[in-house]
Amino acid sequence: MTVNNHLDPHCEAILEEYRENLPMFGDMALKVRNQLKNTFDEAGLLVAALEYRVKAEDSLAGKLELKGNKYGTLADITDILGLRVITFYIDDVEKVASAIERLFEIDWENSVDKRKVHEIDSFGYLSLHYICSVPEMPYRFEIQIRTVLQHAWANMSHDTGYKSGVEVPQMYLRSMSRLAGMLELVDDEFSRIRVELADYRYI
């Protein structure tokens, strides 16, 4: 047993539970990823990427150090296993969501639809976050769904320190907001053009 000197005994016990179950998390990540891929393939739904990861030990330790008292056991932490589905088109987000709802039990209380956020600069953070579970696994997992452009925006804004808690000059905030609006328009237009082209083929 490895002891983290920054954690109290309760948090260290949670961390040890994580270590003991790490192989299972890896197996489950791959299993859930394959379930999603097979479902998308059967539905003819093309996605840009299907990513998965198991939270790293140092990341979990940092989380426990900050708010470990919030969690009774490891099962109370919902993002040990995380997956992300990146779609080409914004209207495919709902199709992916529907597939996920059929495959897994959804913890609606802890799931978040960030698309309902209406801040002018929130484009890259509008992903849909589902907290899911399956009968054979006592731990919940998170699936995020976002478009390629939303994903690109989230990564770029993170790299530039945007929304990092560091004060950013107003002129840069304004520029970032303008870019967010432009990308959101592009996302909508790509979906609109696809629908209209599909209709055109049947005229």
Confidence band of 202 (pLDDT split at 50, 70, 90): low
Task: Express each pLDDT in 96-126 by its tens digit.
Answer: 999 999 999 999 999 988 766 555 555 555 6
Read off the pTM: 0.83
| Token pair for 20 | 């003991």
| Token pair for 77 | 């932490």
Which CATH fold topology does 9-201 show?
Answer: Beta Polymerase; domain 2 (3.30.460)
Hey, which residues does 84 pair with through a beta bridge? 51, 144
Which residue ranges make up each domain of the chain? 9-201
Average pLDDT of 85-95?
94
One-letter identity of residue 86 = I
pLDDT at 181: 74
Average pLDDT of 126-140?
91
- pLDDT higher than 70, residue 201: no
Hey, which residues does 47 pair with through a beta bridge? 87
Q: In the block, which residue shows the tokens 């597939």?
A: 99
- Three-class secondary structure of residue 55 per DSSP: coil
Q: Give the pairing type, strands 105-106 and 47-54.
A: unpaired
Spatial contact of 93 and 48, defined as CB atoms under 8 Å apart: no
**Contacts from 187-193 at CB under 8 Å and sequence distance 24+?**
187/89, 187/90, 187/147, 187/149, 187/150, 188/90, 190/88, 190/89, 190/90, 191/89, 191/90, 191/91
Task: Express each pLDDT in 145-191 by its tens digit.
Answer: 999 988 888 777 766 655 555 566 777 667 777 777 778 888 888 77
Q: In the block, which residue shows the tokens 């484009």?
A: 123
pLDDT at 68: 87
